[in-house]
Chains A and B, each alone.
Chain A
Amino acid sequence: MTVISEGATAAPQAAQTAPLLEVRDLHVEFHTRDGVAKAVNGVNYSVQAGETLAVLGESGSGKSVTAQAIMGILDMPPGRIPQGQILFQGQDMLAMSGEQRRKIRGRKIAMIFQDALSSLNPVLSVGYQLGEMFRVHQGLSRKAAKAKAIELMDRVRIPAAAERVNDYPHQFSGGMRQRIMIAMALALEPDLIIADEPTTALDVTVQAQVMDLLAELQREYNMGLILITHDLGVVADVADKIAVMYAGRIVETAPVHQIYAAPAHPYTKGLLQSIPRLDRKGQELYAIKGLPPNLLHIPSGCAFNPRCPMAQDICRTEVPVLHTAGPGRGSACHFWKETLGE
């Protein structure tokens, strides 16, 4: 797959122009019965038009919550955004009126959700739900909207789309529902797509097709793409740059090529070591020891310190800033040099 060409060459000049989306020092917390869960604790990232940012990280580290904050679909309450900015084409969406935001959502920024089944309405046919996009946003007739729905289902390779357009979500397999969600996100040709594990439910051949499709549309419309995924293979295939999250923070950012060759944060390193490898069959897989942090009581200093093989005293007291670890690279580790150098 050759996806980078445009994105990669565009990136250096694009740095002078405003990014398509920029998240600045975003914080999100949830008020629960047991206390305040700090899910996102100062996230910074940006995407240019035509660029793919892959967001990796531990499950529970705040990847989806950050995406929900960008989309403006956080449950508030119990969620709260005490601090931060989300600039879309230079405008802070957190400061906008509900009306202004609704205009952006769906039309300019679309999201593919992690949980396809629960984001589709079970009592409406998928064709109706797809068609609704065109009826509401483009004022198409029922019939025209349905034809568009079939076309989209075709595009994401739902077999026999014309026959199945009136079927309900439960009649499709997990992967097919995921493709329907992708179709819905693509419907209005948005500027930015946030895809939250869009291919987790797909087998590799369909995954390859879907990623190719996303890449093709991305080129065609110069779309920005935020790809949240656990699949380090997919990331290696399509990403331009990577942000790694842990306990609600970005712990490492880097262009895709560098991170695999030499991670600069011990968490990223542990993650890469955990990939199952052929020559380790029959042995235990490497896994980062310990439990994920309790968001009600995030460890002081570096949140990763109780699980980190590199940790020293300073890690338990001082929060590491994002150190520059090379061109376009950052690592929030006191010992990033040692980690890189090992």
Chain B
Amino acid sequence: MSDSTLEPILSVRNLVKHFPLTQGILFKKQIGAVKAVDGISFDLYPGETLGIVGESGCGKSTVAKLLMNLEQATSGEVFYKGQDITRLSGRALKAVRRNIQMVFQDPYTSLNPRMTVGDIIGEPFDIHPEVAPKGDRRKRVQELLDVVGLNPEYLNRYPHQFSGGQRQRIGIARGLALNPEVIICDEPVSALDVSVQAQVVNLMEKLQDEFGLSYIFIAHDLSIVRHISDRVGVMYLGKMAEIGTDAEIYDHPTHPYTQALLSAVPVPDPEAREHRERIILTGDVPSPANPPSGCRFRTRCWKAQERCSQEVPLLAVPSVFAGQDTPAAHESACHFAAEKDVVHAA
């Protein structure tokens, strides 16, 4: 679906977000920084879905917030149709935000407990009344509830009266309210059972076809990411380890982290539990406040050599595959990128 002759709708360049680590109560002294996102670049094309996967804490949600300008980037740029949104504020930012919406990870804290579901979903219309005139709102909100598979009669209920999965759908309905061009979904289906997940994903794909929406789809479930994504980026400790089409990443991963990740996917088949060949990563996930030198994955990588601790591997088509017509020739940030047979279910 992605057509590289098109202009990207979002272009992310060297995006960095460091959270200061401070000490002291009265006189806060900065003693370091959590390098949550540390130099990330990628493009999102109109009508495509870019999946983002990666270890918990690797910076996915922070990337999402930076794309919405909900967090101030430490450095780097996010171009929306050529305009750097990290530098926008006020009215210009508001105009862009109408077109980039987010569905949040945590369905518990992202919904105001004192607002009814109708008010929560209708809230974006207060900021952008041009989308739904006052008289139409109730009807529009009910349509949105129906679209995400919630009973339209639930309009006057409060978030605590819904289950986790039901609340996630409320968040999706709100994300859809303004008919945006880009929706950034931070684990939109993680809280859902597989059948509701299927409904939501089918719905998202249908809306994408209908309105040409672009999605950034962050999730842990690798099989659902593969299902919905045209391209997939794999993050590790604030950096992009590997990026490519879904087939390139899932069938021809060349980065050891991606290979380990795919091998760990639990298979929905109890007969397989004894025969699975899992790459067990040893070592702890390093702290993003003090990431390893060179390649960030090297402390857990079974292929690491001297060079890995000295030289940061760049995200590029590995030289061994460069110029070749093979699905392994996609961007991978590893000095020793190679294909490996991995047992995977996704």
Contact = CB atoms under 8 A, between A and B. Distances in A.
A197 B191 contact: yes
A174 B106 contact: yes
A260 B106 CA distance: 30
A322 interface: no
Contacts of A159: 284-288
A342 interface: no
Contacts of B224: 276
A260 B198 contact: no
Interface string A52-80: 00001111110010000000000000000
Interface in B142-159: 149-151, 153, 156-157
Contacts of A61: 163
B317 to A, nearest CB: 24
B193 A59 contact: yes
Interface stretch (A95-103, A104-112, A227-235, A311-319): A227-235
Contacts of A1: 273, 276
Interface in A221-278: 230-237, 239, 256-257, 260-261, 270-272, 274-278
Interface stretch (B72-80, B91-99, B171-179, B261-269): B261-269
- Count class of interface residues, chain B: 35 or more
B299 to A, nearest CB: 10
B56 A174 contact: yes
B270 A206 contact: no
Contact of B265 (A37, A157, A197, A233): A233
B214 interface: no
B287 A160 contact: yes
B226 A276 contact: yes
A281 B223 CA distance: 10
B197 to A, nearest CB: 7
A252 to B, nearest CB: 14
A23 B54 CA distance: 38
B266 A203 contact: no
Contacts of B166: 59-60, 292
A287 B163 contact: no
Contacts of A30: 161
Contacts, number: 200
Contact of A230 (B193, B276, B346): B193
Interface string A196-234: 010011111111100000000000000000000011111
Interface stretch (B199-207, B302-310, B333-341): B199-207
Interface stretch (A40-48, A81-89, A113-121, A187-195): A113-121
Interface residues of A, number: 72
A164 interface: yes
B164 A284 contact: no
A124 interface: no
B164 A59 contact: yes
A38 B53 CA distance: 38
B285 A206 contact: yes
A294 B145 CA distance: 14
Nearest to B59: A173
A199 to B, nearest CB: 8
A58 B285 contact: no
Nearest to B192: A59
A205 B281 contact: yes
Interface string A270-299: 111011111011001111100110100000
A30 to B, nearest CB: 8
A256 B166 CA distance: 27
A271 B151 CA distance: 21
Given A117-B109, A172-B57, A233-B345, A204 B284 contact: no
B151 A294 contact: yes
Chain A CB within 10 Å, residue with most, of B201, B269, B270: B270
B298 to A, nearest CB: 15
A175 interface: yes
Contacts of B269: 236, 260
A286 B345 contact: no
A202 B187 CA distance: 11
Interface in B253-277: 260-261, 264-274, 276
17 contacts: A32-B161, A60-B166, A115-B109, A164-B287, A171-B19, A175-B57, A201-B105, A203-B53, A205-B264, A205-B281, A232-B194, A236-B273, A274-B194, A276-B224, A287-B195, A287-B199, A292-B196
Nearest 7 A-B pairs (CB), nearest first?
A175-B56, A59-B165, A233-B266, A285-B198, A160-B287, A173-B57, A60-B163
Given A208-B266, A230-B194, A237-B266, 6 more contacts: A59-B192, A114-B191, A202-B56, A204-B264, A206-B55, A277-B223
Interface of B: 19, 34, 53-58, 61, 105-106, 108-109, 149-151, 153, 156-157, 161-166, 187, 190-199, 201-202, 205, 220-224, 226-227, 246, 260-261, 264-274, 276, 278, 280-281, 284-290, 345-346
